[in-house]
Each structure stands twice: as structure tokens, then as C-alpha cells.
Amino acid sequence: MKIDVNSLTDDPEQLKQMLFELQANTAQALAAKDKIITEQAIQINQFIERYEIAKRKQFGKSSEQLTGAGETFNEAEEIIDEVDKALLAEANNNKNVTIKSIPKRKPLPKILPRKVVTIDLSLDEQVCDCCQSQLHKMGETRSEKLEFVPAHIKVIETVRPKYTCKQCEKTGTGNQVKIAPMPATPIPKGIATSSLLSQIISAKYQYGLPLYRQESMFNEYGIELSRKTMSDWVIRCSELLAPLVDELKSKLLSQPVIHADETPLKVIKADRISNYMWVYCCGSDTERNKDMKNIVLYDYHNSRAAACVVDYLEDYDGYLQVDGYAAYGKTEATLAGCMAHARRKFIDAKTVQGKNKTGKADVALNLLGKLYGIEASLKGKTVEEKYQVRQEKSKVIIDKLTGWVIDNKEKVPPKTKLGEAMAYWCNQAHKLATYLRDGPINIDNNRGERAVKPFVIGRKNWLFSNTPRGAKASAILYSIIETAKANGLLVDNYLQTCLDEMANKPETLSHLLPWNSQALLEL
């Protein structure tokens, strides 16, 4: 506001009032500018944080392991208080030093066929170079190399002799013809055997080889096999195996703990744009126990609504280990949180913290590292032992971390990565501590995330499903393949056996469950 000095009044009271107004307007303008500057500073900081995280995701290591985090203090760079220093020092004092062993090449499997090639000296060379005496054999040296024999395709020609009665032909009483019935096959009147079908299915769903590439591969063998034909075969096989997946689902819903996750899927001819593949699993993909059921099942829906998981789990009231997605809270299950998700957010906060800086993110990460160290020591223990150790050691650390987050949450801007990590912990704290209640529960949902990963990798190759029917077929076949892998079975053998058995429409399916399939080869 500009003021003409020559037009000012000579009245002191009026001048005083104008001065007060001018001071108030100036203070208001400065406050508005400070607010704008503060908001811009916050936005700039958010952009920098997201840039650092995006840079790490694109160019950095995919591993979330931290090396040397919080082990040294740089007084010029540290942004922590005395309480944080004490927590960091306590965590570092309890670290165990591990020495990596030198990797050794494993021997080749004994079950592989072997061809022995002997490379010997000629008779002229089997004499001593010094005295020309005959050499005697003192031993031998053996080495092994792998040779690849390309796959070969053969035609199985089925011959069924026909029989008739010549006597009846002569007398004219009849002309009965007898012939043996055709054995049941997965594709009636089709040319595909169960071995060919299992090859096509495992190539696509286990190794991510789309049907159009398989079409080119068969063409190299001189066989015209269109992707449309193979697609029809795949859908037919999925319909044949659907009852087995239903049997696996009934076993899954009887387990005390289920892991769940979901990932988007592009379906060209779907009614909705948003389509999702949900995954439900139990057991472990790293440990095999005769008392543990390792099951991985996929379920396709054209929605991410809570009704999808509610309908699938029905009245399941066990533990459901998931991330923070709200839809899982609509089920009857007791939710267990994912510590890996909480840790990942603190890792993002450490990323934007800068190199060689020790900050509050290090405090949380060190405490979380102690929790994971305890879990590593419990590998192979009974559920009772896990519960006892968690109550004695892990509960104290979680309570300490929760208290630390509550004390520092108000000191950190909420829109920063560290603020988001603390807010996530506060919102999920009761779920993150659920694993303390019972031994079978895991500390995180990595089991579910690893189960959905094969689908995500395959999706990068075949990109999309053409129809919802094809997406449902993919869900069934992924379920069979991943469950077989989780139980240490050869996928090709298991698929062949299941296709042959289901073609005969067995009365019961219990003998086809992976843990009951005694005739199948194990890895």
C-alpha cells in the first residue's frame, strides 16, 4: 500500500491510527509470504524424497538388505537425539558377525544318465621317458560335463483291431463287430497327449513362454500347431483340473494361517478395466514338513472389492496375514500385519536421508533388524518354541519401537517419508504384533508376496489375458503348478498324472493331492 506523504493529516491521533494499520498490513503480508515459502519448501522436499526413491528403484539394488546402517556416527551429519543414540548403540552391540562361506559347485545328480568317455595314452606313449620301461596304471582322474539333448517329438499311433463272426455272416443271423474302447484322454478325439499338454502348460505358466512363441517352436519341428488350438487345449485342461483346485481350496481353508495378496491383470474383453488376480497360500515355500500343507491358489476377479476376498474365504476365522489393504478387514479372520511393509517404508525414509547420514530411520531399522534376527534363529523350531521366544524377546522390542514412534511422530512432518513410515506403524501396530500370539504365524507376508511373484513374472511375457474365461483358466493352472512346486514335485510329472487321472473322472481326488502323490518323482 503506497502512501502520499504530502497528503497526510497533521492530526497525531489519525497518524497514530494509520501507523497501526500500516504495521498490521505489513505483518499480514509477511505472514502470507512466509506461509507460501514454507509450503514451497515442503513441496520441494517431497519432490526430492520421491526423486531419491525413484532413482534407487530404477538404478539401485533390488535387495532391501542394509550394510553398516547406523554403525558409525558423523557428528556433522547426524540428525538424532540422545535417546535415538542409545537405541542405536543397544542394537549395534547385539549384532552378530556372520562369515560367508566360500561357494562350492554341487555335484551333478546321480539319476542323470551317464556316458563314460575314456581318454587314454596310446601304447607307444605308455613307456617311461627315462628308462623306456613299461608304465603301470596307478589310478585315474575323472571329470564331469553336462550335455544337452534337444527334445524330440514322436507320434503315438493307436491300433484297435476289429472282430466279427464269420459264422453269423454265413447264416445271416447278424454281423456284430467288436473293438476295444479308446482309453480316456484329456482332449477327447484330439491329437494331444497328456505329455504334450503338460509341456504347453508348464512352458507358459511355469517358464513364461507365450503360446505364439511355442507356435514358432513347434514350426521348427515341422508341426503346424496354432496358438488358437493350444489356447483351446489350455482352457479344456483348466476345466478338467478345476475340481482338484476346489479340493485344494477346502484344505487351504482348514489351515490355521493363510497368506493373501493381489495384483492387477489386464483382460482385453472384460466388462471392467480393473481386473485382479488374488492369491491365497499357506505353509512355506522354503521349508517342507510332513505336517505342513503347502498350498498356493489363485482366484481371478474383475474387481478389487472386499466382496472378492470375503466370498473366497467364506467363514474362515483363522489368521489372515496380509498388507494394509482395508478390504481384508471385512473378513471374519484375525488379521496379521506384514513387518516387511513397515520396514520397507523406513528403508525409503533412509534412502532420502542421504549417504553417510545417521537419522531416525536408522533407529527403526536397527530395531526391526533385531526382530528379523530373532526369527532367523527360530528356523526349524516348533510352534511352541517360537511362541515362547517371541514373548520373551520380540515383544519387548516391538513395545520399545511402538513407544519410540509415538514419542517422535509429532516431531516429524507427516508428509515426509519418515512421517509416512511412522503413520503406517501407528495404524498397523496392533496387526504387526499379531504374530506374537501364535507360533504358526510369520513375522511378515513375504510368503504371499513370493507366491504372487511367478504370476507377475509371467505377466511380463504374455502381457494380458484375452477373455475372462482365459484369465480363470490361468488362475487354475497357476494354482496347480505353484502348489506342485511348493511341495517339491516335478511339475511336468504332476501335470501329466493329474490330467490322465481327471480324464477318467475318479470318484475321489485325495490321491492326487501333492502330499499324497507317492508315485510322483520328487526334486
Write out 313-340 in H/E/C secondary structure.
Answer: HCCCCCEEECCCCHHHHHCCCEEECCHH
Q: Which three cell numbers stand for residue 76?
A: 556433522
Indicate whether 297 pLDDT > 90.
yes
Q: For residue 280, what are the contacts with CB-CB under 8 A and spacing of at least 6?
A: 252, 258, 259, 260, 296, 297, 299, 312, 313
Q: Mean pLDDT lowest for which of 9-18, 141-150, 222-231, 439-448? A: 9-18
Indicate whether 306 pLDDT > 70.
yes
Angle (nearest 5°) at CA 464 between 463 and 466: 145
Strand order in the sheet with 319-321: 295-301, 276-282, 257-264, 319-321, 334-336
pLDDT category of residue 361 using cuts at 50, 70 and 90:
confident
Residues paired with 319 in a beta bridge: 257, 334
Reduced to 3 states (helix: H, G, I; strand: E, B; else coil), residue 487 is: coil
Q: Comparing 105 with 130, which gets the higher pLDDT?
A: 130
Indicate whether 94 pLDDT > 60.
no
Angle (nearest 5°) at CA 460 between 456 and 462: 110
**DSSP code of residue 127:** B
Q: For residue 378, what are the contacts with CB-CB under 8 A and spacing of at least 6?
A: 385, 386, 389, 390
Q: Which three cell numbers stand for residue 109?
A: 545328480
Q: Mean pLDDT lowest for which of 53-67, 189-203, 221-235? A: 53-67
Q: For residue 478, what are the contacts with CB-CB under 8 A and spacing of at least 6?
A: 205, 296, 298, 454, 455, 458
Alpha helices in 140-226 (DSSP H): 166-171, 194-205, 211-220
Encode burial over 301-329: b for 16+ CB neighbours within 10 A, e otherwise: bbeeeeebbbebbeebebbbbbbbeebbe
Q: What is the pLDDT of the chain when averaged over all its residues?
A: 83
pLDDT in tens, 393-429: 999 999 999 999 998 888 888 888 888 999 999 999 9
Q: Could you tell me whether strands 177-179 and 257-264 are parallel, antiparallel, or unpaired per DSSP bridges?
A: unpaired
Q: Quick count: other Cβ atoms within 10 Å of Cβ 418?
A: 25
Largest Cα–Cα distance of the chain, in whole Å?
147
**DSSP code of residue 172:** T
Q: Comparing 98 with 54, which gets the higher pLDDT?
A: 54
Mean pLDDT, residues 470-494: 93
Q: Give dist(CA 95, CA 263) in Å, integer.
A: 36
Residue written as cell 501507523? Answer: 19
What pLDDT does residue 74 have?
A: 36
Q: Phi/psi at 170 (nearest 5 deg)?
A: -70, -45
Q: Give dist(CA 260, CA 332) in Å, integer.
A: 14
Torsion (CA) 486, 492, 495, 496 in degrees, nearest 10: -150
Residue written as cell 512432518? Answer: 413
The Cβ-side half-sphere exposure at 136, using a 13 Å CA radius, reads: 1
Percent of the chain with pLDDT over 90: 44
On whether the CB atoms of residues 421 and 346 are closer than 8 A, the answer is yes
Q: Comparing 312 with 133, which gets the higher pLDDT?
A: 312
Q: Phi/psi at 299 (nearest 5 deg)?
A: -140, 120
Torsion (CA) 382, 383, 384, 387 in degrees, nearest 10: 130
Q: Give dist(CA 107, CA 304) in Å, integer.
A: 47
Q: Which three cell numbers stand for residue 420?
A: 509416512
Q: Quick count: other Cβ atoms within 10 Å of Cβ 125?
A: 9
How far are the Cα atoms of 211, 266, 517 from residue 201, in angstroms, in the given order? 9, 20, 20
